A and B are shown apart, each in its own frame.
Chain A
Amino acid sequence: MDFQLEGKTALITGASRGIGEGTAKVLAGDGVKCVISARRMDLLEQLANDIEVSGGVRPIAIPADLFERDATRRLAAAAEDALGHVDILVNSAGRSKHPDAPRHTPFDHRDSLWDDEMHLNYNTIRQITFALLPGMIAQKYGRIINITGKSEPEKIGTANPPKAAVHAWAKGVSRKVAKDGVTINSIPPGKITSEQIQQNYTDEERAAYSSNDITLGYFGEPEDIGHLIAYLASPLGNYITGTVIPVDGGFRKHSF
């Protein structure tokens, strides 16, 4: 099995921790030259070192705070400058819960909580993608993979609407760019061991999820997402576009 990724280039957002970090390790291990981006430069540098030590292609760290004005376009341009061209975009920056969102106050979340989540979990994905699409179309190869979330809200959550928005938007984009060799797909992760999950759930809650809600009975790892991303990013994934592929150990309820 050869994903034929050697020499390809990728921009990975949200790469300092969790799924983005795991994806960077997998892609760099497959020979992809990556730009890794996140806010925390120290973590990015550490990741770059770790990847190099383990035999992967050393990635280029470019710090970015996607809440800053015009950050998405600046990041896309910096990635194209650093890599020459971008074959693969992994939109992994995002979160399932605003750090300031209270847990159980259904109707009085202030507007900015909702707006922040729409910005981070949808607007930035759209902006970075649209900034890189012309280059992908020109080179007749492009792979966009969005990390989203299941469309099965458990409660009123600020992240659910933007993640569903990504699915709707990505389907439309897929129809426009498929003839140019560009695919776009979304992966709603289940419960994956990561910094965010550690912060958002207590040990008891995690144990309850494993035994009650996750069919396979255990949390996934970031690399479980990373390997599917590598497949979708590879030439092998050329006919898969406009899909939503959960990697969730059976967490999602719906059959289809």
Chain B
Amino acid sequence: MKRDPQLKGKSALVTGDNDIATAIRAALAAEGCVVTEVHSGPVDILVNAAADLHAPSSTPLELESWADDMERCFEAPRGLAHSVLPGMIENKFGRIINVIGSFEPMHFNSEFAAWGAMAAWSKSLTRKVGQHGITVNCVQPGLIETSDARAKEFEANTIPAGRLGKPADIANFVVYLASGYAHYITGTVIPIDGGLSRYQH
């Protein structure tokens, strides 16, 4: 049964040069969104999907500065969101969806701090913009099948589902969060991981 997610003609900015971002762009475009990769003009839906979720496993203790990772994984998506928000507030509509990494570190990793920052910032942002019809949520992909071979290093058997996820599994849910159906969902962090994460909430 066809549903109308009320996305026709909405402008969507989806950052990221990776398989998940590509799948999100295709899924939003299929629902009639006008999709761009770079900021040019008003934005109804911002999907921060530039993060490389399968980054090198371990950060050396000697690494002097984490500023680069904080810039890439937190400051850049945060700054982009803040730059599109005035337009969203004016329109009384906005969806900000951040694709972030897991909160359950497998290694000592400099990006890990940025995911915590993204979630904390997202939640606090909801307090500022909720009254304007804007929702802010994070999705946390688990291990996803991508053209990047590094994901395949992980044993699929360690995932309860017994297999890697697909970019479409993330993209379809991002479409849901962007849609009119999800207007009451804000300030959440939603794993899409085949049961991989252990925390029960």
Besides A6-B1, A179-B160, 13 more A-B contacts (Cβ < 8 Å) are: A167-B200, A167-B201, A176-B160, A178-B194, A179-B161, A179-B162, A215-B127, A236-B169, A236-B176, A239-B165, A240-B190, A242-B200, A244-B200
Residue of B with least CB distance to A244: B201
Q: Are A151 and B201 in contact (CB under 8 A)?
A: yes
| B residues near A167, Cβ cutoff 8 Å | 200-201
A135 at the interface (CB under 8 A from B): no
A134 at the interface (CB under 8 A from B): no
Residue among A2, A217, A224, A242 making CB contact with B183, cutoff 8 Å: A224
Residue of B with least CB distance to A217: B131
Residue among A2, A6, A178, A237 making CB contact with B195, cutoff 8 Å: A178
| B residues near A31, Cβ cutoff 8 Å | 1
Residue among B2, B103, B173, B186 making CB contact with A250, cutoff 8 Å: B186
Which residues in chain A, 200-253, are within 8 Å of chain B measured between CB atoms? 215-217, 220-221, 224, 227-228, 231, 236-250, 252
| A residues near B201, Cβ cutoff 8 Å | 151, 167, 243-244
Residue among B4, B122, B198 making CB contact with A1, cutoff 8 Å: B4
Most chain-A CB neighbours within 10 Å: which of B1, B31, B122, B133?
A: B1
Which residues in chain B, 145-201, are within 8 Å of chain A measured between CB atoms? 159-162, 165-166, 169, 172-173, 175-176, 179, 181-195, 197-201
Interface size class of B (residues with CB under 8 A): 35 or more
| A residues near B179, Cβ cutoff 8 Å | 1
Residue of A with least CB distance to B159: A178
Distance from B58 Cβ to chain A, minimum over Cβ atoms (Å) = 23
Residue among B133, B172, B184, B195 making CB contact with A175, cutoff 8 Å: B195
| A residues near B3, Cβ cutoff 8 Å | 1-3, 30
| A residues near B123, Cβ cutoff 8 Å | 254-255
Distance from A55 Cβ to chain B, minimum over Cβ atoms (Å) = 10
Distance from B113 Cβ to chain A, minimum over Cβ atoms (Å) = 14
Residue of A with least CB distance to B164: A239
Most chain-B CB neighbours within 10 Å: which of A5, A168, A216, A245?
A: A216
With A215-B130, A242-B197, A255-B123 known as contacts, the answer to whether A250 contacts B181 (CB < 8 A) is no
Number of interface residues of A (CB under 8 A): 47
Residue among B120, B172, B184 making CB contact with A236, cutoff 8 Å: B172
A29 at the interface (CB under 8 A from B): yes
Q: Are A216 and B1 in contact (CB under 8 A)?
A: no
Distance from B19 Cβ to chain A, minimum over Cβ atoms (Å) = 15
| A residues near B162, Cβ cutoff 8 Å | 178-179
| B residues near A30, Cβ cutoff 8 Å | 1, 3
| B residues near A255, Cβ cutoff 8 Å | 119-120, 122-124, 187, 189
Q: Are A256 and B131 in contact (CB under 8 A)?
A: no
| A residues near B173, Cβ cutoff 8 Å | 231, 236-237, 240
A126 at the interface (CB under 8 A from B): no
